[in-house]
């Protein structure tokens, strides 16, 4: 065994998986996990923990894998995270725990994410569920949104003895985990639903099909007897480019396209949800969402292009996702920017006019600014365009809640360490506050919000 390299993890062959929605990564076997765990140096000053937004005691759970006590390993993780099988699959570990692992200085970091996934999958398969800890304290908290921020906040509060109800606008809980991230990266029945059930086993109630700001307002939640409110409503409002032709038939936002496929199961033949199965699809954007939309379109049978205005080095998507997308046959048209969507006489997309770009001086984001090369326009024939340019928070809650400050990006203003907003008793965290970010940052914010609410309500009890 080469101690400088990760034990490779099993994956479906690229050609086979490009035609199905089964999970790409098959995870470590017992033997592989045990071997990978021995690469951990059990550092005294474990840098990996500092890289984890929910501060999982990483060396402690890895030592339990070495000791072959996987149940204990799962307990260590459960102290900090209620969604380990999710995070083990989708966290950008290369920028977080693994990015700081000392093994990474001279070789490859310990495969912390894959080990977390291994432990979480083992716990689920062996029926291990979280244990209730505190007596009920009689105080009630409403949580808006059932994504990672809301679930983490609700789980922590339930463990502290609060009566927690999550209100979710959609008919299924889970936020982006259910409607956004595709099945081939994050299986819903096998992984997401059991982890949400673990949160409800702590006593958290989830009411779906309730839109706060429409069905009830935050003021009405207080009138109903809730003592505090946490807003974890995410950032689900898609952005568009504002170029000619964007209203043509066959142009979708990535959110709509992925929701049809993931939440409404359009990829399955036994569901009636319609989805446009294009022959040639252009996805505009370079983030994780763009990769997910492109890989979904590919699996639905299309030749699929990613159109991105900067170069490969600036692609914001995770390296693993770009690598997988390329292996599966996605075509990357880099340093290319859309100018216009071209329609046929019936208003359907028939192509996209683009222009070649080059990189100029760095802009405010520190990345080199893409600049158009004059006269380099050309048309890519296609029948579908999926816009994946980012999302922002829906203003419904802020516009129906008196005294709730938002910033110029329509994000709710909240303290980082406790989620406190400008409105007394109202806390917030996750994408609703930061704009589109990551699962684990949303969970970290949910946990911070729970701590803030506990401090606020404990003071009221005293």
Please pick, from the candidates 110, 115, 334, 442, the single residue that binds ligand FAD as defined by CB under 6 A.
442
Residue position matching structure tokens 């080990």: 115
Q: Show the CA angle centred on residue 238, arms to residues 264 and 341, nearest 5°.
A: 100
234 binds ligand FAD, rule: CB under 6 A: yes
6 binds ligand SF4, rule: CB under 6 A: no
Shortest separation between residue 100's beta carbon and ligand SF4, angstroms:
6
Beta strand pairing call for 228-231 and 426-428: parallel
- Cβ proximity of 266 and 187 under 8 Å: no
370 binds ligand FAD, rule: CB under 6 A: no
Q: Which of residues 56-85 bind ligand SF4 (CB under 6 A)?
A: 58-59
The secondary element (H helix, E strand) that includes residue 439 is helix 439-461
- Cβ proximity of 174 and 265 under 8 Å: no
- Cβ proximity of 353 and 340 under 8 Å: yes
- Cβ proximity of 152 and 431 under 8 Å: no
- Cβ proximity of 370 and 355 under 8 Å: no
Out of ligand SF4, ligand FAD, none, what residue 251 binds, judged by CB under 5 to 8 A for its kind, is none
Please pick, from the candidates 139, 146, 398, 401, the single residue that binds ligand FAD as defined by CB under 6 A.
146
Shortest separation between residue 240's beta carbon and ligand SF4, angstroms:
42
CB nearer to ligand SF4: pick between 99 and 161:
99
Out of ligand FAD, ligand SF4, none, what residue 59 binds, judged by CB under 5 to 8 A for its kind, is ligand SF4
Strand 163-167: give its sheet, edge to edge.
Answer: 205-207, 163-167, 140-144, 228-231, 426-428
CB nearer to ligand SF4: pick between 48 and 73:
48
275 binds ligand SF4, rule: CB under 6 A: no
Say which DSSP state 420 is in. Answer: B
CB nearer to ligand SF4: pick between 92 and 286:
92
Contacts of 459 (CB under 8 A, 6+ apart): none
Residue from 448, 439, 430 nearest 85 by CA: 439
Q: How far apart are CA 120 and CA 84, in angstroms?
A: 6
Q: How far apart are CA 174 and CA 244, in angstroms?
A: 35
Out of ligand FAD, ligand SF4, none, what residue 112 binds, judged by CB under 5 to 8 A for its kind, is ligand SF4
429 binds ligand SF4, rule: CB under 6 A: no
Please pick, from the candidates 35, 43, 239, 389, the single residue that binds ligand SF4 as defined by CB under 6 A.
43
Shortest separation between residue 1's beta carbon and ligand SF4, angstroms:
15
236 binds ligand FAD, rule: CB under 6 A: yes
Strand partners, 237: 392
* Structure tokens belonging to residue 79: 């102290």
Please pick, from the candidates 130, 213, 338, 449, the single residue that binds ligand FAD as defined by CB under 6 A.
213
Contact stretch for ligand FAD (CB under 6 A) within 61-69, 115-123, 304-312, 437-445: 437-445
212 binds ligand FAD, rule: CB under 6 A: yes
Length, in residues, of the chain: 462
Out of ligand SF4, ligand FAD, none, what residue 14 binds, judged by CB under 5 to 8 A for its kind, is none
Alpha-carbon torsion angle 254, 15, 439, 159, nearest 10: 130
Please pick, from the candidates 121, 168, 183, 333, the single residue that binds ligand FAD as defined by CB under 6 A.
168
52 binds ligand SF4, rule: CB under 6 A: no
Residue from 372, 186, 321 nearest 262 by CA: 186
CB nearer to ligand FAD: pick between 56 and 144:
144
What is the number of other CB atoms lying within 10 angstroms of the CB of residue 403? 10
110 binds ligand SF4, rule: CB under 6 A: yes
Say which DSSP state 411 is in. Answer: P
117 binds ligand SF4, rule: CB under 6 A: no
Shortest separation between residue 417's beta carbon and ligand SF4, angstroms:
24
CB nearer to ligand SF4: pick between 39 and 188:
39
Please pick, from the candidates 6, 47, 353, 369, the single residue that binds ligand SF4 as defined by CB under 6 A.
47
Say which DSSP state 378 is in. Answer: E
Would you list the DSSP string of 320-351? Answer: HHHHHHHHHT-EEE-SEEEEEEEE-TTSBEEE
Residue position matching structure tokens 């404990």: 458
Q: Which of residues 275-334 bind ligand FAD (CB under 6 A)?
A: 288-289, 292
Q: Show the CA angle centred on residue 148, arms to residues 114 and 180, nearest 5°.
A: 80
Please pick, from the candidates 7, 34, 46, 386, the single residue that binds ligand SF4 as defined by CB under 6 A.
46
Name the residues that contact ligand FAD, by CB under 6 A: 90-92, 144-150, 167-170, 175-176, 180-181, 211-213, 232-234, 236, 258, 288-289, 292, 394, 396-397, 430-432, 436-440, 442
Name the residues that contact ligand SF4, by CB under 6 A: 40-43, 46-48, 58-59, 101-103, 110, 112
């Amino acid at each position: 065994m080469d101690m400088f390299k990760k034990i490779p993890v099993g994956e479906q062959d690229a050609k086979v998986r490009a035609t199905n929605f089964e999970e790409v990564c098959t995870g470590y076997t017992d033997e592989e996990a045990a071997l990978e765990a021995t690469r951990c140096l059990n550092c005294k000053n474990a840098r990996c923990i500092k890289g984890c937004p929910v501060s999982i005691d990483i060396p402690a759970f890895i030592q339990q894998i070495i000791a072959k006590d996987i149940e204990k390993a799962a307990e260590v993780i459960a102290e900090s995270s209620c969604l380990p099988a999710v995070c083990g699959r989708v966290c950008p570990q290369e920028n977080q725990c693994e990015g700081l692992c000392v093994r990474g200085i001279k070789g490859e970091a310990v495969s912390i994410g894959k080990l977390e996934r291994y432990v979480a999958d083992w716990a689920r398969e062996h029926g291990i569920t979280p244990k209730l800890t505190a007596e009920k304290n009689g105080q009630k908290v409403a949580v808006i949104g059932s994504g990672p921020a809301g679930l983490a906040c609700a789980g922590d509060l339930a463990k502290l003895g609060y009566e927690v109800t999550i209100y979710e606008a959609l008919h299924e809980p889970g936020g982006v985990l259910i409607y956004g991230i595709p099945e081939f990266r994050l299986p819903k029945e096998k992984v997401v639903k059991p982890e949400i059930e673990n949160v409800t086993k702590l006593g958290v109630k989830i009411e779906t099909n309730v839109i706060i700001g429409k069905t009830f307002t935050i003021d009405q939640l207080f009138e109903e007897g809730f003592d505090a409110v946490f807003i974890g409503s995410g950032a689900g409002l898609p952005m568009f480019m504002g170029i000619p032709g964007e209203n043509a038939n066959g142009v979708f936002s990535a959110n709509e396209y992925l929701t049809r496929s993931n939440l409404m199961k359009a990829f399955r033949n036994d569901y009636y949800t319609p989805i446009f199965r294009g022959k040639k699809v252009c996805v505009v954007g370079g983030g994780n969402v763009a990769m997910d939309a492109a890989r979904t379109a590919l699996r639905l049978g299309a030749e699929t292009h990613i159109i991105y205005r900067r170069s490969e080095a600036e692609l914001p998507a995770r390296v693993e996702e770009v690598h997988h997308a390329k292996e599966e046959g996605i075509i990357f048209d880099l340093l290319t920017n859309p100018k216009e969507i071209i329609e046929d006489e019936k208003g359907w997309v028939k192509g996209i006019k683009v222009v070649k770009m080059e990189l100029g001086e760095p802009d405010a984001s520190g990345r080199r600014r893409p600049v158009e090369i004059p006269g380099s326009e050309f048309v890519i024939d296609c029948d579908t365009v999926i816009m994946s340019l980012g999302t922002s928070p829906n203003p419904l809650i802020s516009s129906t809640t008196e005294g709730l400050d938002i910033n110029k990006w329509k994000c709710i203003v909240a303290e980082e360490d406790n989620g406190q907003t400008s409105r007394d008793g109202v806390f917030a965290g996750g994408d609703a506050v930061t704009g589109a970010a990551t699962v684990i940052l949303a969970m970290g914010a949910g946990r911070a919000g729970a701590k803030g609410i506990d401090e606020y309500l404990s003071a009221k009890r005293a």
